[in-house]
Amino acid sequence: MIKVSIKNLNLFYNKVQALKNISLDIEKNEILGVIGPANSGKSSLLRAINRLSENDYARLSGTIILDDTDIFTIPINDLRRRVGLIFATPVVLPGSIHKNMSYGPKLHRRFKGSELDEIIFNALSAANLWKEVKDRLKDSASTLSGGQQQRLCIARTLAMDPEVIMMDEPCSGLDPISTAKIEATMFELKEKYTFILVTNNTKQAARVANKTAFFLAGELIEIDKTEKIFTSPADSRTDGYIRGKFG
């Protein structure tokens, strides 16, 4: 079943075209890996899907369909609840861990009694962070380590009860152990959510992604099953990038 379907997507910043006629489908409960060198349009793709690109004064054409609905017809705060985005550098909001976790849910509806605490518990557990923070929910979120902060960001997105989770190089600033923890989290969560993982680390895509898309200079060069991309890619440029010949 297709969760997100992108057709003929073009994106411009002023006169610079960042995405060129992109068409791709993302299957439900899969991890799509997106690889490519800097400036290839990977982040622009993510920011187009949750319409954050509108804040960058970007111009878009083409269609993006989420579950049979054009995303431009979905109220923007609803779209962003359904499609979460995790940034490369973990940014925690000033305030406690609890405040970070409740910020998103409280924007969308009111909660009664322990309902919110339950959501926070579930999200932190799912992000494999609960055990480490359960006694310090009132502490400032900035006292957490970098890896913990990134997992807090993931938990903060999970607390919104999203359908699609987009990650923009989520492990770029993390050590191998933190990276492994986040990859394990993604694997566990795949059953419930659909992932789009932009990564600079091709090995990470090979490890976790079901399908991998290779972007170059705003174009989608090819998208296929991850094994296929990493063993016998159709395009020689994909092969060259994976082997580290450029990028």
Partner 1 sequence: MTFRIGPRTNQIIAYSILLLMTLITVVVLFFIIGYVFKNGIGQLSLEFLTDKTRDMGKEGGILPSILGTFFVTIFAIIIATPLGVGSAVYLVEYTKGGLIHRIISFGADCLAGVPSIIFGLFGFIFFVIRLNLGWSIISGGLTLAVMIIPTIIRTTEEAIKAVPHSFREISYSLGGGKLDTILKVVLPTSLPGILTGVILGIGRAVGETAAVIFTAGSSLGIPTSAFSSTRTLAVHFYILAREGISMPKAYATATVLIIIILLVNFIAYRLMHRFMAKYY
Q: Which residue, 76 or 184, is less far from partner 1 as judged by CB? A: 76
Site map (CB under 8 A) of partner 1, residues 31-50, x = contact: -------------------x
**130 membership: H or E segment, kind and range:** helix 130-133
Q: Which residue, 55 or 246, is less far from partner 1 as judged by CB? A: 55
Q: Which residue, 82 or 237, is less far from partner 1 as judged by CB? A: 82
Tell me the closest approach of the beta carbon of residue 237 to partner 1, in angstroms.
31
Q: Which of residues 16, 91, 184, 234 is near partner 1 by CB under 8 A?
A: 91
Q: Which residue, 84 or 233, is less far from partner 1 as judged by CB? A: 84
d(CA 58, CA 104): 25
- Which strands form 211-216's sheet, in the order they lie side by side? 83-86, 164-168, 194-198, 31-35, 211-216, 219-225
Within residues 172-231, the interface with partner 1 by CB under 8 A covers: none
Residue 85, interface with partner 1 (CB under 8 A)? yes
Q: Which residue, 72 or 187, is less far from partner 1 as judged by CB? A: 72
Chain-centroid distance, C-alpha 19: 18
User: Which has the closest alpha carbon to 164: 190, 128, 135?
Assistant: 190
Site map (CB under 8 A) of partner 1, residues 130-159, x = contact: ----------x-x-------------xx--
What separation in angstroms does the CA of 125 have from each of 35, 84, 100, 120, 131? Answer: 29, 18, 15, 8, 8
Residue 69, interface with partner 1 (CB under 8 A)? no
Tell me the closest approach of the beta carbon of residue 52 to partner 1, in angstroms.
6
Stretch that binds partner 1, among 79-87, 183-191, 196-204, 232-240 (CB under 8 A): 79-87
Q: Which residue, 94 or 244, is less far from partner 1 as judged by CB? A: 94
- Which strands form 69-70's sheet, in the order they lie side by side? 16-27, 2-13, 58-66, 69-70
Tell me the closest approach of the beta carbon of residue 60 to partner 1, in angstroms.
16
Residue 78, interface with partner 1 (CB under 8 A)? yes
Residue 87, interface with partner 1 (CB under 8 A)? yes
Footprint of partner 1 (CB under 8 A) = 50, 52, 55, 76-81, 84-85, 87, 89, 91, 93-95, 103-104, 107-108, 140, 142, 156-157, 160
